[in-house]
Chains A and B, each alone.
Chain A
Amino acid sequence: AQSVTQPDIHITVSEGASLELRCNYSYGATPYLFWYVQSPGQGLQLLLKYFSGDTLVQGIKGFEAEFKRSQSSFNLRKPSVHWSDAAEYFCAVGLPYSSASKIIFGSGTRLSIRP
């Protein structure tokens, strides 16, 4: 069955430090890959997406992610975090060829920023 794993439930980093959020997926083919961010009590905003081509993807707010097919991973990175980056981050996979092109989400990683 398809699944998305975000192994880190909660991460705390200092402002200005680098960040890497991990994501692994299980799917029989190469899925579409997404990272979303959610502020408390809000909907989800797309940070970046990968459909094909260059495996290093640039997104909004200075984020990037790298697709590694051999590791079934799509980790999110930012070289220097800001206090405003504190939020919940969700990795998701889109399932091409599935009914309604469903998108499956990981359980999320809550990011806290230490002043």
Chain B
Amino acid sequence: SQTIHQWPATLVQPVGSPLSLECTVEGTSNPNLYWYRQAAGRGLQLLFYSVGIGQISSEVPQNLSASRPQDRQFILSSKKLLLSDSGFYLCAWKDGETEAFFGQGTRLTVV
């Protein structure tokens, strides 16, 4: 069966520090991968999606970037964090026209 792993679960980082959040999927090949951010009271905002290795699409301009170095690995990064980057980050995967399956999320607090 398919599983999705996301880490770390929580992270506290100072303003201006770099960021790397990792997501891996097991049990499927060539999934569509997504990064969402959930800010307090604002629902889930789609940040990036990828349909294949090295293929990244950005939904909103921001201080973050994403990469997909391997088929089932999706990384969210920043060179210098801002206070506004705080939030709950969720990775998800889909296989064609199905529902999305989510990781357990990373709570990022920028201080």
Contacts and interface: CB of A to CB of B under 8 A. Distances in A.
A103 B90 contact: no
Interface residues of B, number: 28
Contacts of B34: 100, 102-103
Contacts of B96: 101
A106 B49 contact: no
Interface string A30-45: 0010101000011111
Nearest to A104: B46
B51 interface: yes
Interface string A91-115: 0101010011111111110000000
B97 A96 contact: yes
B41 A9 contact: yes
A90 B36 CA distance: 13
Contacts of A92: 100
Contacts of B92: 44, 103
Interface in B9-54: 32, 34, 36, 41-46, 49-51
Interface of A: 6, 9, 32, 34, 36, 41-46, 49, 51, 90, 92, 94, 96, 99-108
18 contacts: A32-B97, A34-B99, A36-B102, A41-B107, A42-B104, A43-B103, A44-B44, A46-B99, A49-B99, A94-B99, A96-B97, A100-B49, A101-B94, A103-B46, A103-B94, A103-B99, A107-B42, A108-B43
Interface of B: 6, 32, 34, 36, 41-46, 49-51, 57, 88, 90, 92, 94, 96-97, 99-105, 107
